[in-house]
Structure 1
C-alpha cells in the first residue's frame, strides 16, 4: 500500500477548514477527523476588579447571614451552578420550601461531572444567592436556610 496519497490527504485536511473527511473506494474506507482546537483569550483587567468586588460582596453576604441566624450552604468546589437536573425540569428547591438533611438543593458541574449539593439541616429556604448557570467559587454561599 502506497502511503503517499494518504499523507497528502492528511496534509490537505490539516491545511483546510474542513473538520472531517471520509473517502471510500471499493472495500477500502478512510476517515480522517481533526482534533479539537482551543482558543485562549486574555482576560481583560477590568474583570479582576469585578471579581474582587464580588468576593467582597459575598463575604459581606456571609457575615449578614451569620448575623441573621441563617444556616449558609456553601459551594464545596468551583464549577457551574444549576438549580434543576435539566434545563426543562423544575428547580430542586424554591424560596420558602422546607428541606430535610440529604435533600438535593442544586447541582454544581465541574469537569463535566454533575455534583449534587445536599442540605445538611432541616429548614426553610430563605434565599438563593446564585443565579442558574453562574460560575461559583469554592466556599461561595449558595443558600440561606432558617433552621426548623
Structure 2
C-alpha cells in the first residue's frame, strides 16, 4: 500500500470523525487508530457541566477510592474465557501485580494488572465493553 492511499484514509478518518479505521485489499492491510484523549478535550460544555452535577449529588454518592485505568483502547474482558469465573469480584482483596482483566487490542490479549493493593469497591465497565485510554475500569475502597 502506498503512502498516498494511507493519507487518503487518514483524511477520511478526520472528515468523518472516526476513531478507528481498518482497510484491507488483497495482501495489503492497515489499521489506523486516532488518539482519543485529544478528542475529549474538545467538549468544554460537558466539562463545565460536571462540577454542577457533582455539587447537587449527595455527599454519600461521591466515590472516594483510587481507580485503575485502561492503558490502551480495546475490549475489556473480565475473565480468561466465557465459561471461566472473572479475575476479580467486588469486595475481593488484590495485591499489586494481580490480574484484574484482559484488554484486547488488535487481536492481542493484554493483561490488566493491579498497580496497587486494595479491596475492589466497584467494577466500572462490563465484560466485552470497549474501553478508551485512561478510562477508569476498577475502583478501590478508600
TM-score category, normalised to shorter length: 0.5 to 0.7
Q: State which structure, 1 or 2, has the greater radius of gyration over its C-alpha atoms.
A: 1
Alignment correspondent of 1:122: 117
Q: Distance in 2 between matches of 1:112 and 1:145?
A: 29
Aligned to 1:87: 82
| Structure 2 unmatched ranges of 5 or more | 1-25, 28-42
2-side partners of 1:144 and 1:120: how far apart? 12
SS at match of 1:105: strand
What is the RMSD of the two structures over their aligned residues, measured on CA atoms? Answer: 2.9
Q: 1:112 aligns with which of 90, 107, 115?
A: 107
* Alpha-carbon separation, structure 1, partners of 2:69 and 2:63: 16
Correspondence for 1:71: 66
| TM-score, with length taken from structure 2 | 0.57
Q: Which residue of 2 aligns with 1:132?
A: 127
Query: Hey, what's the Cα distance between the residues in 1 that align with 2:66 and 2:99?
Result: 16
Deviating beyond 6 angstroms after TM superposition, the runs of 4 or more aligned structure 1 residues are: none
Q: How many Å separate the matches in 1 of 2:70 and 2:115?
A: 13
| 1:1-148 equivalent positions in 2, closer than 5 A | 68-146=63-141
* Shift in Å, 1:146: 2.0
Secondary structure at the aligned position of 1:144 is classed as strand
Cα distance in structure 2, aligned partners of 1:68 and 1:90: 26
Aligned mates of 1:127, 1:69 — CA distance in 2: 11
Report the TM-score, using the length of structure 1 for normalisation: 0.54
Q: Number of residue pairs matched?
A: 92
